[in-house]
Structure 1
Amino acid sequence: MNIRCAKPEDLMHMQHCNLLCLPENYQMKYYLYHGLSWPQLSYVAEDDTGQVVGYVLAKMEEESEEDPHGHITSLAV
């Protein structure tokens, strides 16, 4: 098992994992938005062959009057 930051070429695999694991599904623009906005907060899990078997998408809330905080928006394994 290897966990690493997601790359643009992982987006299709992340979406496929979502379709297999979760009842709520997202359009590709959802993954792209997260990858472009918070690239340091998106991770994938790979099996021993390098196949993506899970992912986590997270985002930071950007409300200036509050302390910085974020949350996980999607997690699938």
Structure 2
Amino acid sequence: MIQFDYWGWFILGIVLAVIEILAPSSFFLWMGGAAILVGGIVFLVPDLIWPIQLSVFAVLSILAVLLGRRVFRP
């Protein structure tokens, strides 16, 4: 069975932040933040199944990108 640990989400968040540094667009930064938040949730609730983890990541990513674009307009 597929299981994502909290450290995997933290690594994904860091990788997305590095991508943001290399290709500035203020898109990957917000997705990286969402990944780190999901990592924190999985750290607190380790039995959270992967479909819920991915759903939470998708919702948080969409909300973070929309909020980020609204606050930091180019």
Which has the larger strand fraction? 1
Q: Which of the pair has the greater relative contact order for Cα pairs under 8 Å at 6+ separation?
A: 2
TM-score for both structures, normalised by structure 2: 0.34
Which has the larger helix fraction? 2
